[in-house]
């Protein structure tokens, strides 16, 4: 069963089509990457899922039906437009926002205390929000998205302003939530985070679906027939089944002939007595896929 | 559960303002100003009243057995000692030395001959002259062996109470000052409405400015948010009002010791009920309109300027006081009591001046209720349309025409 089921939604602002006939679903227990260039329609899609905007056409089913007030308590949201009440102490701000998610005050206070300790914010709990640094506010906002233990978490650029330590911590937290069976939609431009975290992705451009599916499948779809090897000694100038050998920084990139199989190349290398510390089928970085797909779209438009 | 979310917003909005130093300051500033004003008035009254004794030379012997002067309970009218003199020389010497401020000379044939002389260096207060007249009258009457109660009635006059034909209203002569009630209540109403309206305006614009909007709106509906904010800020206004009323009541009790006529101060319960039924929906209406303005604006300062436009029509009835007073059931008064923004003050004034037909009061309350509901609806709509348009103003046309997104 899917947590979100989006069916052919479109949304137009004036004459621009922000979202154009988009369909996808998000399942429990996965981190779902929502990717796309700036202005692709990611935020508009999220806002439609959250019932901030109504789609011009199409349907959205969330937690098994249309959005209701009860369901709002089941959703945690870290919006692109960051904002907390600036003029009140951090703890009061967090408790108030948690109470709007249906938490009673006592459990909100307990949970927030726990999270503040985890995020190193506890000693700042009486400080006004506006006195906190950007990174601290970011962490506070993450607490707001997670504190009521929602079954659907929607986060827009969760890692901005976070230092490496906190980034790791948030990543662990998100993975933990996924393992608990929560559905997480993550929108980000940090492709390395997507590669590390996301199970499935949706890439949209100009409101339309460009890529959609399991990350691994997409990557192998785009995989070239290249092998990366790191030998202890330099490689010979030619290898059977290999049409091209490129040396890069102690590593080699081997371009295979059409009929060749990576397994056979590996066997040959071992038979020749070449010791390897690394043998890897080259997976194209998501960044490259992203760029090539978006560029292809643009070129298609120009034809 | 949704009720409890509204309640959370009410609580947040209320505590956010009430526990701030700024609020406490504005709360105490009015009573403080009133205390200073009353104090200054008392001081001026005391200083400006000349209590130096006044002499009299009674050539007729009519004042041979002077009555004792009753102690005064009015600080602006303290008892002045009247000192008998045998001859003009001595009285004149005392006048010149400043021991007395003036002296009267009653002619030999007094009271047949009423030509009395008053000699002074600086003209005495009229209150002293009234006191001397009372003193002479009381002394003359006491020598004729008249019932003392009759003396009082003769000198003080009657206490007249005017009743309306249907018996629904009455006005006692000594409660003339109650004519000021609508003015004071009106000014207090405007201050309270503008204060809590201002808070509301600020709260809504801030909500947009600090971008908390998206989180809040994915937790509650715009209607819940608006209702919570409106109730919260109205509660702030009412807190202010109640504190002021308590101060006012204490002030009245204290002032009653100095100004005995204030002790009879009372307002008929029907009048109070009418006022409440009119002021409450008016309050909600204006608060909601403020919230609507806040939703369409992007800067607090700008929004505050626009909100000033509301206080203006609200005060119009004050400028029309004379015309409303002359003809409290006339067309001008009626028109302004039906127009929602001028209605509260106009109706307050009319109700204290005349018997306003019940159907008119009912219609008034009805109009205000409908307007209040419409204003809340309008505010919710403006908020929903305006909430995601950061940095963009929303025109009235947009709010009325656009279908809610």
pLDDT tens by residue, A122-131: 999 999 998 9
- Residue A250 near chain B (CB below 8 Å): no
- Residue B3 near chain A (CB below 8 Å): no
Q: Contacts from B247-254 at CB under 8 Å and sequence distance 24+?
A: B247/B30, B247/B31, B247/B34, B248/B31, B248/B34, B251/B31, B251/B34, B251/B35, B251/B38
Nearest CA in chain A to B1: A102
Specify burial of residue B389 (Cβ count, 10 A radius: 0-12, 13-18, 19+): middle
Distance CA B105, CA B113 (A): 12
Q: How confident is the model at residue A93 (pLDDT cuts 50, 70, 90)?
A: very high
- Residue B126 token pair: 């009229």
DSSP state of A210: E
Nearest CA in chain A to B214: A79
DSSP state of B219: T
Say if the Cβ atoms of A72 and B212 lie within 8 Å.
Answer: no
Please list every residue in chain B whose beta carbon sits closer than 8 Å to the beta carbon of residue A54.
405
Q: Which residues contact A110 (CB under 8 A, 6 or more apart)?
A: none
What is residue B333's predicted lDDT score, i.e. its pLDDT? 85
For residues A154-159, give the mean pLDDT: 92
Q: Which residue has the higher pLDDT, A216 or A82?
A: A216
Distance CA B208, CA B299 (A): 9
Highest mean pLDDT among A145-154, A267-276, B90-99: A145-154
Strands A226-231 and A242-248: unpaired
pLDDT, tens only, A168-202: 999 999 999 999 999 999 998 888 899 899 999 99
- Residue A148 token pair: 């009521």
Distance CA A43, CA A34 (A): 10
B378 three-class SS: helix
Q: How far is CA A21 from CA A156, A212, B357, in A?
A: 22, 14, 63
Please list every residue in chain A whose beta carbon sits closer than 8 Å to the beta carbon of residue B388.
47, 52-53
Please list every residue in chain B whose beta carbon sits closer than 8 Å to the beta carbon of residue A102.
1, 5
What is residue B405's predicted lDDT score, i.e. its pLDDT? 42
3-state SS string for A72-121: HCCEEEECCCCCCCCCCEHHHHHHHHHHCCCCCHHHHHHHHHHHHHHCCC
Say if the Cβ atoms of A72 and B220 lie within 8 Å.
Answer: yes
- Residue B306 near chain A (CB below 8 Å): no
Residue reference for tokens 């800020």: B233
Distance CA B394, CA B386 (A): 6
- Which candidate in B22, B206, B214 is best for mutational testing of the A interface (most A CBs within 10 A)? B214
What is residue B390's predicted lDDT score, i.e. its pLDDT? 47
Distance CA A201, CA A184 (A): 11
Please list every residue in chain A whose beta carbon sits closer than 8 Å to the beta carbon of residue B204.
none
Say if the Cβ atoms of B218 and A82 lie within 8 Å.
Answer: no
What is residue A152's predicted lDDT score, i.e. its pLDDT? 95
Q: How far is CA B42 from CA A11, A163, B150, B230, B399, in A?
A: 71, 68, 33, 41, 54
Provide the shortest C-alpha distance from residue B396 to chain A (in Å). Answer: 19
Provide the shortest C-alpha distance from residue B368 to chain A (in Å). Answer: 31
| Least confident window among A40-49, A210-219, B43-52, B76-85 | B43-52
- Residue A10 near chain B (CB below 8 Å): no
With the CA atoms of B153, B156, B159 and B160 taken in that order, what torsion angle do they form, in degrees rounded to the nearest 10? 110
Say if the Cβ atoms of B5 and A100 lie within 8 Å.
Answer: yes
What is residue B391's predicted lDDT score, i.e. its pLDDT? 46
Nearest CA in chain B to A84: B212
Say if the Cβ atoms of B215 and A69 lie within 8 Å.
Answer: no
- Residue B121 token pair: 């260096």
Sheet (strand A75-78) strand order:
A75-78, A152-156, A183-187, A31-35, A200-205, A208-214
Distance CA A281, CA A289 (A): 16
Q: How many CB pairs under 8 A join A and B?
A: 64
pTM of the model: 0.73
Longest dimension (CA), chain A: 71
| Ordered per-residue pLDDT tens for chain B, 405 residues | 456 788 989 999 898 888 878 788 878 887 788 788 878 877 877 777 778 889 999 888 888 888 877 776 666 677 888 888 888 888 888 888 888 989 999 888 888 888 888 999 888 888 888 888 888 888 888 777 777 777 777 777 777 776 766 666 666 666 666 677 777 888 888 888 888 888 888 888 877 777 787 888 888 888 788 888 888 988 888 888 888 888 888 877 777 776 666 666 666 777 778 778 888 888 888 888 888 888 877 777 777 777 777 778 888 888 888 888 788 888 888 888 888 888 888 888 888 777 778 888 888 899 999 999 888 888 888 887 776 554 455 666 666 665 544
DSSP state of A147: T
- Residue B24 near chain A (CB below 8 Å): no
CA-based nearest residue to A218, from A154, A290, A296: A290
Radius of gyration from C-alpha coordinates of chain B: 30
- Residue A77 near chain B (CB below 8 Å): yes
Structure ipTM: 0.76
Residue reference for tokens 């978490």: A153
């Amino acid at each position: 069963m899917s947590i979100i089921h989006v069916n052919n939604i479109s949304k137009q602002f004036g004459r621009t089509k922000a979202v154009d006939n988009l369909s996808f679903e998000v399942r429990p227990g996965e981190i779902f990457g929502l990717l796309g260039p700036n202005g692709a329609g990611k935020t508009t899609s999220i806002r439609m899922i959250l019932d901030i905007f109504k789609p011009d056409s199409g349907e959205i089913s969330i937690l098994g039906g249309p959005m209701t007030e009860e369901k709002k308590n089941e959703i945690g949201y870290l919006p692109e437009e960051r904002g907390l009440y600036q003029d009140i102490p951090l703890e009061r701000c967090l408790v108030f926002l948690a109470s709007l998610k249906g938490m009673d005050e006592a459990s909100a206070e307990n949970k927030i205390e726990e999270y503040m300790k985890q995020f190193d914010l506890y000693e700042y709990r009486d400080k006004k929000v506006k006195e906190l640094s950007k990174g601290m506010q970011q962490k506070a906002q993450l607490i707001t998205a997670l504190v009521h233990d929602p079954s659907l978490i929607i986060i827009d650029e969760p890692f901005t302003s976070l230092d490496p330590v906190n980034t790791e911590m948030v990543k662990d937290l998100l993975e933990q939530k996924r393992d608990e069976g929560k559905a997480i939609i993550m929108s980000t431009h940090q492709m390395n985070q997507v590669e590390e975290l996301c199970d499935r992705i949706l890439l949209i451009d100009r409101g339309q679906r460009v890529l959609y599916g399991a990350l691994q499948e997409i990557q192998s779809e785009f995989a070239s027939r290249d092998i990366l090897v790191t030998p202890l000694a330099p490689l010979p100038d030619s290898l059977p089944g290999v049409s091209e050998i490129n040396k890069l920084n102690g590593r080699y990139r081997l371009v295979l002939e059409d009929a060749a199989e990576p397994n056979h190349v590996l066997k040959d290398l071992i038979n020749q007595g070449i010791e390897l510390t690394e043998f890897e089928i080259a997976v194209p970085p998501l960044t490259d896929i992203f760029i090539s797909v978006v560029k292809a779209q643009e070129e298609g438009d120009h034809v | 559960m949704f009720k409890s979310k509204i309640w959370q917003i009410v609580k947040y909005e209320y505590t956010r303002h009430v526990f701030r130093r700024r609020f406490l300051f504005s709360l105490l500033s009015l009573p403080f100003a009133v205390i200073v004003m009353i104090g200054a008035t008392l001081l001026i009254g005391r200083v400006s009243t000349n209590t130096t004794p006044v002499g009299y030379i009674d050539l007729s012997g009519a004042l041979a057995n002077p009555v004792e002067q009753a102690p005064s309970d009015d600080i602006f009218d303290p008892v002045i000692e009247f000192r008998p003199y045998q001859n003009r020389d001595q009285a004149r010497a005392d006048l010149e030395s400043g021991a007395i401020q003036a002296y009267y000379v009653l002619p030999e044939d007094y009271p047949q001959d009423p030509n009395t002389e008053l000699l002074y260096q600086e003209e005495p207060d009229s209150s002293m002259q009234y006191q001397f007249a009372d003193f002479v009258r009381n002394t003359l009457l006491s020598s004729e062996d008249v019932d003392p109660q009759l003396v009082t009635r003769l000198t003080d006059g009657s206490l007249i109470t005017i009743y309306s034909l249907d018996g629904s209203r009455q006005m006692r002569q000594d409660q003339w000052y109650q004519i000021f009630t609508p003015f004071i209540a009106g000014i207090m109403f405007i201050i309270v409405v503008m204060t809590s309206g201002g808070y509301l305006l600020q709260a809504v614009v801030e909500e947009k400015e600090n971008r908390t909007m998206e989180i809040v709106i994915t937790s509650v509906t715009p209607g819940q948010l608006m209702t919570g904010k409106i109730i919260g800020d109205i509660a702030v206004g009412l807190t202010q009002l109640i504190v002021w009323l308590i101060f006012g009541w204490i002030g009245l009790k204290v002032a009653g010791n100095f100004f005995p006529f204030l002790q009879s101060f009372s307002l008929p319960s029907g009048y109070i009920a009418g006022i409440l039924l009119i002021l409450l929906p008016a309050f909600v209406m204006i608060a909601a309109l403020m919230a609507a303005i806040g939703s369409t604006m992007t800067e607090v300062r700008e929004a505050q300027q626009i909100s000033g436009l509301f206080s203006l029509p609200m005060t119009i009835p004050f400028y029309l006081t004379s015309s409303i007073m002359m003809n409290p059931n006339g067309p001008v008064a009626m028109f302004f009591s039906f127009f929602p923004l001028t209605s509260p003050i106009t109706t307050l004034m009319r109700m204290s001046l005349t018997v306003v037909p019940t159907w008119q009061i009912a219609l008034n309350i009805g109009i205000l209720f409908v307007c209040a509901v419409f204003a809340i609806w309008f505010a919710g709509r403006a908020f929903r349309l305006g909430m995601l348009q950061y940095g963009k103003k929303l025109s009235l046309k947009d709010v009325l025409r656009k279908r809610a997104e």
